[in-house]
Amino acid sequence: MNGRSRLLVATCSALAVLAPLGTVAPAHASVVRFEDAAAAVSSDLAAIAGARGWTIAQARTQQEAADRLDRVRQAVAAVHGEEAIVGGMLGEKPDGVATLLIAGPATDEARMLATSAGVRLVDRQPFTAPELRKRASDVHERLVRMGYPLVVTAVDIASADIWATVTAKPGLPATSGALAVRLPDGVAVTVTDEPAVKRESTAFGGMRNLLTGAPMCTSGWSVVDPNGTTGVSTAGHCGVNQITHDGTTHNLALQVQHIGSQGDVEWGTTAVPEPDDFFVSPTTIRDVSAVEPIGNITLNETVRVYGRTTNAEQSTTVFALDVAITEGGRTSSRLVATTNGVTQPGDSGAPWFNGTVAFGSHVGSATIRGQVRSLFQVADLYDEALGVRVRTT
């Protein structure tokens, strides 16, 4: 859809969001409001402020800090090379200082770029981002080989430590201390009796509602492959074969499913082209303006999600990058963990976003550092995982 102002009426057909203005809707249809980019930003800032106890001005201040950090990151990468960037962190409070971490000594040019934007540059980090990811992967594989049924690992870029959580299993070390001595230095491990990982299926909803008959999931983003074929994404563990919009179902032909090194995601096609729209509430849709580059996903950055089980916009922040989970013998890597668990079973596949920018699609939840946190697949990795990209306006 383009940015013109209009009111959409959602009929019981999946073609509803493609229908022109003035389409006659059946009596049971619900009114759907379209938000353009400016309205989306205003709406999100108000919701974020309410969720975090901030003023709208404070929420805007943090968003502006995130934008500056993204620009500095890209500029420094042009000077030092992409491989030197470890990651970025926003302050936990709106007036906090944003930080960019890099490996190796910083050049004077890089320091000047950061200082001029009010970003703190911390150089000489012990590991690059790929090296941290490799360390976490090695720890994860070791824990899986030991026989733990549910395993979570994540990277802490601030300390260069690896966080790990496993669900206890008879015959294996049952305490954090007993397990820690069998792992490399720099690994903070927790053993729990509770499920450490949960992939959240068994409900319906999202941009377009997806279902498989009994278990159901949430759709995420409209996608397009290099040949121009459009479709819709959801979580890879959903395995959906139908899509429903306001009560009417349509066949969904699975194209590619990926559960592995690039996350947990799949995509399928329907009989009609899918527009570049997504639901952010039961009655509000937006266009997708852009996809957040994986390198720009920043610790403490605000992200939002809408899944049909939860059935309301939820706000939280980015907590950890390069998260890997193993459940049911299946390992998914390069996920992002959020600070809070704000989702429920059935939200899998749902869009994670900020304004009109696509950040990812929902996967489930995992226990990291003793707290259950929501997880999402990075939208920027759809190409590597599926060979498609998110459709944008």
**Pairwise CA distance, residues 251 & 90, whole Å:** 43
Cα–Cα distances in angstroms (integers) from residue 57 to residues 45, 64, 206, 210, 268, in the given order: 8, 10, 30, 38, 41
**Pairwise CA distance, residues 207 & 226, whole Å:** 22
**Pairwise CA distance, residues 27 & 235, whole Å:** 33
Look at the alpha carbons of 180, 182, 185, 189 in this order and tell me if their dihedral is positive or negative: negative
**Pairwise CA distance, residues 235 & 200, whole Å:** 9
Cα–Cα distances in angstroms (integers) from residue 33 to residues 5, 247, 266, 389, in the given order: 10, 19, 28, 26
**Could you tell me whether strands 314-327 and 330-338 are parallel, antiparallel, or unpaired per DSSP bridges?**
antiparallel
Closest by CA position to 120, among listed 129, 128, 107, 110 = 110
H or E, element range at 189: strand 187-192
H or E, element range at 275: none
Q: Name the DSSP letter for residue 172.
A: S
**Pairwise CA distance, residues 229 & 203, whole Å:** 27
H or E, element range at 391: none
Closest by CA position to 70, among listed 58, 87, 56 = 87
**Helix, strand, coil distribution of the chain in percent, nearest 5:** 25, 40, 40
Per-residue pLDDT of the chain (393 residues; tens, 9 = 90+): 433 222 222 222 222 232 222 223 333 345 678 899 999 999 999 999 998 999 999 999 999 999 999 999 999 999 999 999 999 999 999 989 999 999 999 999 999 999 999 999 999 999 999 999 999 999 999 999 999 999 999 999 999 999 999 999 999 999 999 999 999 999 999 999 999 999 875 433 345 556 555 457 888 999 999 999 999 999 999 888 887 766 667 788 999 999 999 999 999 998 888 888 898 988 899 999 999 999 999 999 999 999 888 888 899 999 999 999 999 999 999 999 999 999 988 889 999 999 999 999 999 999 999 999 999 999 999 999 999 999 998
Let me know if 334 is exposed, middle or buried by CB neighbors in 10 A (0-12, 13-18, 19+): buried
**Pairwise CA distance, residues 347 & 373, whole Å:** 14
**Pairwise CA distance, residues 175 & 172, whole Å:** 9
pLDDT tens profile 181-215 = 999 999 999 999 999 999 875 433 345 556 555 45
The residues, any chain, with a CB within 8 Å of residue 181's CB and separated by 6 or more, are none
